[in-house]
């Protein structure tokens, strides 16, 4: 019984589909809070530098207009001698009044003096050696005052410093580029000018800035994290990866919802999706019509728009990178979308939430193994969570991630949640208790994987940052053993391959567990 408790939340969410009651939101994993001493003063919605010419001296709180001598509390207007109250005090020279003594500066304790933060003194800062070509304030124009939201982003940037210091430019993130979040291209140009950069692209609130060739991303990040200047926060353009653990296998005709099928979709039994189908489907069409108005956004490698199991399912398909179509060249995105929404048509398999609609947002660049960057992911989050869009997205699934944390995700995820979207992401396949970004971002439901025996999949990450687990398969780590072919994997629709359109793929990973939770949330 105990080994099944991890599924309680998931089963309740799926069961609630029948009643129409919204599932209770899973507890979000909160990222660490960072506290930094400020050298800027908050003025309503803007931040301005403290004025060094302010007449108020922090070392001498006595106002020049109040020269009261704290060493002699007796006022000149009360000349009474405390030692001889009967004898009035006689001035030495009645014609020349005494000059009041200069007030002494009171001692201020160490706790009363605000510290001035120095980014280079923080324990987790970048290497600011000459070899990194650190940017000084004299080399860059200031961007002006920052909004309160920008100041928060700049403080959160301190959490990124260690990650950037340990990452390799050109390998872990795109060389010569930084990202800036803004509302329009004009703001992008202003930020570029502040950093001496140029705008490479602007897409759905994400500007890609090309920094000068003589600078490095680490140097720019160090400057951006400095709390004493007025430059806005920028971020490395990290690479992310798809979180499926096994290579894809193909089949073309089997109805995978049947137990006798070699490619049986075992996970339906574990999450009781068959009972939901039966209770909610229309007697006339056999389709779950109650879910027809719900849209799930799948941020992945694209989708096979011509697949028979996606007929009438896709309401929007868009590429978030230039030079490619929304079509899936990898198969990962089609598999993830299929686990959620493959239609009930007696062909191939069926989605856990068959009847919902899919918004597919392709993140990957050209090719079967096309790169995925933060620029594409953030643009997709902003696009899917736009409240003015004609599509009312209710759930967002991201079966992608990497160990490299970036605070750039905080604000877009926050806005998506404020717009009522349940954000779900894969927890990672490292078989560790480490964090994966964006699953670790506050407000995201982080999903681990279990096998058909309700045991942790041998690849799945685990620990307190994993909010819930779902069936994501299991694998035999020895690829030479026959058991590998029969390993538990999640079968669903695939991409066009070798001229075949209606293909089906089997994959295992937290990538395949995450869409099951997304389907339950729908």
| Per-residue model confidence as pLDDT tens digits over 254-265 | 355 555 566 677
Query: Last residue of a domain, which of 198, 233, 268?
Result: 233
Q: What are phi and psi of 46, to 5 degrees?
A: -125, 160
Write the CA distances from 323 to 179, 199, 238, 295, 362, integer angstroms. Answer: 20, 18, 20, 26, 12
Quick check: 441 and 418 in contact, CB under 8 A?
Answer: no
Count: domains in the chain: 2
Structure token pair of residue 196 = 């001496």
Whether residue 440 lies inside any domain: the answer is yes
420 shares a domain with 319:
yes
pLDDT in tens, 132-165: 445 544 444 544 678 888 999 999 998 898 899 9
Residue 226 lies in a domain: yes
Tokens found for residue 178: 């930084």
Q: Say how many CA atoms lie within 13 Å of 133 toward its Cβ.
A: 9
Task: Write down the pLDDT at residue 144.
Answer: 60
Q: Is residue 50 part of a domain?
A: no
Residue entry with tokens 């309160």: 148
Mean pLDDT of 325-347: 91
**Residue 80, in any domain of the structure:** no
Please tell me whether the overall predicted TM-score, pTM, comes out greater than 0.85 for this model: no
| Confidence category of residue 390, pLDDT binned at 50, 70, 90 | confident
Return the H-helix or E-strand segment holding 490.
Answer: strand 490-493
Is 259 in the same domain as 130?
no
In percent, how much of the chain has pLDDT > 90?
Answer: 47
Select the more confidently predicted residue: 402 or 116. 402
Question: 507 or 517: whose pLDDT is higher?
Answer: 517
Please name which of 359, 416, 356 lies closest in space to residue 391, comparing C-alpha atoms. 359
Identify whether residues 284 and 349 lie together within a single domain: yes
207 and 338, same domain (yes or no) = no
Query: Which of 233, 266, 285 is where one domain is finished?
Result: 233
Q: pLDDT digits over 409-429, tens only?
A: 999 999 999 999 999 999 999
Q: Strands 357-362 and 295-300, how do they pair?
A: parallel
Task: Please check whether residue 248 lies inside any domain of the structure.
Answer: yes
Q: Which domain holds residue 449?
A: 243-521
Distance of CA 321 to the CA centre of its chain: 19
The closest of 277, 276, 350 to 309, measured between CA atoms, is 350
- Are residues 369 and 512 located together in one domain of the fold? yes
Q: What is the pLDDT of residues 429-478, one digit of tens each?
A: 999 998 999 999 999 999 999 988 888 999 999 999 999 999 998 876 55
pLDDT in tens, 233-285: 999 999 999 987 654 444 333 355 555 566 677 788 788 777 767 765 554 45
Q: Residue 484 pLDDT more than 80?
A: no
Write down the pLDDT at residue 503: 86
């Amino acid at each position: 019984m105990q080994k099944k408790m991890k599924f309680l939340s998931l089963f309740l969410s799926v069961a609630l589909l029948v009643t129409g009651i919204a599932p209770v939101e899973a507890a979000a994993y909160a990222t660490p809070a960072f506290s930094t001493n400020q050298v800027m003063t908050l003025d309503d919605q803007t931040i301005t530098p403290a004025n060094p010419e302010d007449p108020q001296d922090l070392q001498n709180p006595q106002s020049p207009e109040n020269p009261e001598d704290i060493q002699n509390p007796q006022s000149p207007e009360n000349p009474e001698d405390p030692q001889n109250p009967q004898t009035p005090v006689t001035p030495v020279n009645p014609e020349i009044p005494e000059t009041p003594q200069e007030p002494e500066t009171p001692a201020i304790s160490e706790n009363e003096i605000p510290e001035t933060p120095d980014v280079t003194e923080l324990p987790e800062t970048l290497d600011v050696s000459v070899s990194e070509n650190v940017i000084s304030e004299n080399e860059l124009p200031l961007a002006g005052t920052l909004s309160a939201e920008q100041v928060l982003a700049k403080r959160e940037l301190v959490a990124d410093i260690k990650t950037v210091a340990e990452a390799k430019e050109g390998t872990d993130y795109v060389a010569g580029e930084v990202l800036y979040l803004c509302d329009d291209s004009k703001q992008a140009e202003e930020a570029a000018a502040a950093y001496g950069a140029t705008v490479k692209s602007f897409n759905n609130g994400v500007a890609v800035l090309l920094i000068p060739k003589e600078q490095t991303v680490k140097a720019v990040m160090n400057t951006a994290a400095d709390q004493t200047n007025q430059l806005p926060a920028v971020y490395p353009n990290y690479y992310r990866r798809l979180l499926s653990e096994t290579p894809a296998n193909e089949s073309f005709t089997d109805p995978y919802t049947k137990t006798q099928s070699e490619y049986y979709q075992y996970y339906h039994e574990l999450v009781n999706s068959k009972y939901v189908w039966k209770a909610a489907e229309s007697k006339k069409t056999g389709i779950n019509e109650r879910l027809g108005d719900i849209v799930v956004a799948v941020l992945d490698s694209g989708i096979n728009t011509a697949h028979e199991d996606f007929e009438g399912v896709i309401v929007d398909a868009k590429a978030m990178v230039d030079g490619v179509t929304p079509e899936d060249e990898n198969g990962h995105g089609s598999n993830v979308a299929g686990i959620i929404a493959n239609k009930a048509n007696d062909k191939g398999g069926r989605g856990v939430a068959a009847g919902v609609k899919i918004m597919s947002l392709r993140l990957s660049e050209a090719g079967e193994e096309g790169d995925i960057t933060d620029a594409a992911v953030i643009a997709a989050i902003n696009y899917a969570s736009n409240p003015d869009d004609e599509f009312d997205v209710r759930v967002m699934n991201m079966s992608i991630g990497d160990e490299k944390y970036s605070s750039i995700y905080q604000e877009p995820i926050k806005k998506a949640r404020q717009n009522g979207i349940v954000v779900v992401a894969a927890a990672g396949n490292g078989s560790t208790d480490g964090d994966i970004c964006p699953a670790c971002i506050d407000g995201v439901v982080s999903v681990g994987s279990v096998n058909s025996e309700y045991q942790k999949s041998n690849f799945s990450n685990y620990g307190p940052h994993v909010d819930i687990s779902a069936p994501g398969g299991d694998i035999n780590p020895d690829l030479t053993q026959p058991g590998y072919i029969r390993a538990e994997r999640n079968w669903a629709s695939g991409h066009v391959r070798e001229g075949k359109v209606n293909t089906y793929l089997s994959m295992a990973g937290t990538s395949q567990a995450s869409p099951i939770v997304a389907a339950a949330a729908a």
